[in-house]
Structure formats: structure tokens, C-alpha cells
Amino acid sequence: MSTAEGVADERLASSSVLRRLLVRPELGALIGAVVVFVFFAVLSPTFRSPAGIANWLDPASTLGIMAVAVALLMIGGEFDLSAGVLTGTTGLAVTIIATRFGLNVWLAVAISLVLALVVGLFNGLLVVRTGLPSFIVTLGSYLVLQGLNLGVTKVLTGNVLVGGLVGRHGFSSAHLVFSSSVVLGGTYFKVSIVWWLVLTALATVVLLRTRFGNWVFAVGGDQVAARNVGVPAARTKVLLFLTTATAAWLVGTITALRNTSAQADAGVGDELTFIVAAVIGGCLLTGGFGSAIGATFGALIFGMTSVGIVYAGWDADWYKLFLGAMLLLAVFANRLVRRYAERRRG
């Protein structure tokens, strides 16, 4: 034991810079994003034009908002499978309340937020109180919400598509805040990109430079150890579920105001995309490790790929294959990093 220890020590000392770089969770996603950008930029001039960039930043932004929130939750050791369908629920709530009940759009947006927080609180409390895996608990709320979205929408509107937001009280100002475009050098960029970047920065500061952020890593890394040193583990987790719910509300609102309508099956299946983006961004499925910036790079890879494939003149069917390969690569790389980071010297 003692001889092996001495050898390992020397080797570690010489490679500590590499080691530090490798344990940065977002490094892989950053490299991936650069590779994907260069790849499509070489293939398609449109892809690298300002209008093209604005085009792929748009899907990256709404996905990115969700991926960042889901990344925080995953670092805290939990999943939220209801996050995708909740973007549909919140969008439907805004649209139905504003059009069928005739309330001001801002009021509809506020009520939608309350609904989202109720769902987040339900998920969070159920997980921390019962100790059941969040995978199962949120799978349940995912199915419940999916049923509610379809059922309630059909009962109230007789349709699966609710439209007619345009011209409602407060629509234009709400649209300006959530779904307008910003002109930059003659190119229109969606305002959701600003939301996304601001939230990424905010999440990064919270994670790395606040007490709460330290607790997030701790409850995901080892909940019992965290509790033993006085971390309020249950409160931390519930707050993380409220965060993903709030992000879902933001994305649902952005989408509904942009489309001026909402679809009853919106957001179904997106929950896995959020998780994939977070994992590509360096989040471990086992919790305790990951980054908000990484999740943003993961979302960027998704946005660039979905739009780049079209620009390159390929069939969009290849998109999923490409992402599947990215995911496997990311998980494999993450596992190596974790092994490396966790390896003990003694």
C-alpha cells in the first residue's frame, strides 16, 4: 500500500493542472459546442451569418432556461420529469385565463406562476417527505399534468389549440417583456436569449458564490453528511423544485406569448431534452456535480444542431441520432472525470 501511494503521489503532483481542468464540469460541453459550431459554420455560410446565429440562439434560449434550472436540481440530486409538460401547463394557463376568462394578460401570467409554484411545491414536498425517488414522484406529476392539460383544455375550449391572445388587455406589454425581439446590428434577436443569459449568470453566481449553492452541491453529493453539519437538506431540495417550476413558467409564458396561442400537448417529451442538455453540460445523474454554464453549452449544442442540420440541407431526422451520440459521449466522458475526481490516494 505504501509503495503504491508514493508513486501515485508523484504522478498526481505533475498532472494537477490537467486534473483541475478535467474536473471542471463544463469543459466537455464547451469543447462540444465549439466543435459543433465549427462543423456547421464550415458547411453553411447562413449558419455563421448574424441572422443564422439569431436563428439557432432562439431554440437554444428556451431550452437553456430549462436546462440551467434542471441542472441545479440535478446537482442537488433530484430529477424533475414534470418540467417539460409544465411548460405546456403554464402556457395553457396564461392563454385560457386571458382569453376564456377575459383577465388581463399580466394577471393571467401571475396566476400561471402561482400554479407552477404549487406544482413545484407538491413535487418537492412529496420527495423530501416520503423519501421516494424524485424520478417516480415527478413521473407521476408528469402524467397527471399531461392528462390535465388535455382534459381541462378540451372541457373549457372544446379544442386542443387555444388561441386569441392578440389584442387582449396587457398583451402588448407582456409580449414586449417575454417574446419581443431586440435589434442588434440590423439583426433581430429574440428577447428570450437575454432571459437565458441573465439566468445562466444568476444560476452560476448562486451555485458558486452563495451559501445556498454550497448546500445544493452538498445535498446532491451526500445528503446525510450535509444534514450532519447542519445543512437544511429538505428546504434546499424544495427550493430547487420551485426553481424548475419557475423556469417552466417562464418558458411556457414566453412560448404562449410568442405563438399567441397554446397547444394542449405542448412540452411533452421535452423533460428528457432538458436532462440530456444538463448531462452534456457535465451534470452527474447521481448528483453533487455539474454546472449551470455547462447546461447552457449543452442547450447551445442542441440549438445549433437542430438549426444547423436544416441549413446544411440534411434531413432533420438525423438530429436525434446526432444528439443520442452526443449524450453517450458526454456520459462516458463524465464517468471518466468522476472516477478521476473521486479517486483516493490512500
Partner 1 sequence: MSDHDGGPERSDVPEVPVQATPGVSGGGAPLLAVESVSKYFGSVIALSEVSTSARAGEVTCVLGDNGAGKSTFIKMLAGVHRPDRGGIWLDGTRVEFGSPREALDAGIATVYQDLAVVPLMSVWRNFFLGAEPRRRFGPVSLFDVAAARRITREQLAAMGIDVRDTDQPVGTLSGGERQAVAIARAVYFGARVLILDEPTSALGVKQAGVVLRYIAAARDRGLAVVFITHNPHHAYPIGDRFLLLNRGRSMGDFGKDEIDQAELTRLMAGGAELEELAHELARTDGAAPPDSGARASRLLAEDADELGRE
Q: Which residues bind partner 1 (CB under 8 A)?
A: 1-2, 5, 13, 16, 19-20, 23, 205, 208-211, 213-215, 217-218, 221-222, 224-226, 228-231, 288-289, 338, 341-346
- Cβ-based nearer residue to partner 1, 64 or 213: 213
Closest contact distance (angstroms) between CB of 132 and partner 1 is: 22
Residue in 206, 217, 269 with CA at minimum distance from that of residue 243: 206
Closest contact distance (angstroms) between CB of 227 and partner 1 is: 9
Closest contact distance (angstroms) between CB of 282 and partner 1 is: 12
C-alpha cell at 118: 404549487
C-alpha cell at 274: 432538458
Closest contact distance (angstroms) between CB of 334 and partner 1 is: 12
- Cβ-based nearer residue to partner 1, 21 or 183: 21
The letter for the amino acid at 14 is: S
- Cβ-based nearer residue to partner 1, 13 or 321: 13
Long-range own/partner contacts, residues 265-269 (CB < 8 A, 24 or more apart):
265/88, 265/146, 265/149, 265/150, 265/160, 266/87, 266/88, 266/91, 266/92, 266/149, 267/84, 267/85, 267/86, 267/87, 267/88, 267/89, 267/91, 268/84, 268/85, 268/88, 268/146, 269/84
Closest contact distance (angstroms) between CB of 231 and partner 1 is: 5
- Of the chain, the end-to-end C-alpha distance in Å amounts to 8
Closest contact distance (angstroms) between CB of 341 and partner 1 is: 5
Closest contact distance (angstroms) between CB of 342 and partner 1 is: 4
Contact 120, 246 (CB under 8 A): yes
- Cβ-based nearer residue to partner 1, 169 or 338: 338
Match 400561471 to its residue by C-alpha cell. Answer: 112
- Cβ-based nearer residue to partner 1, 4 or 321: 4
Contact 271, 82 (CB under 8 A): yes
- Cβ-based nearer residue to partner 1, 7 or 155: 7
Residue in 288, 292, 295, 321 with CA at minimum distance from that of residue 306: 321
Other beta carbons within 10 Å of 266: 23
- Cβ-based nearer residue to partner 1, 191 or 233: 233
- Cβ-based nearer residue to partner 1, 92 or 226: 226
- Cβ-based nearer residue to partner 1, 33 or 278: 278
Query: For the residues of 258-315, what is the DSSP string, one character each?
Result: HHTSEETTTTTTHHHHHHHHHHHTT--TTSS---HHHHHHHHHHHHHHHHHHHHTT--
Closest contact distance (angstroms) between CB of 214 and partner 1 is: 6
Alpha-carbon distance 107 to 115, whole Å? Answer: 12
Closest contact distance (angstroms) between CB of 202 and partner 1 is: 11
Strand partners, 182: 189
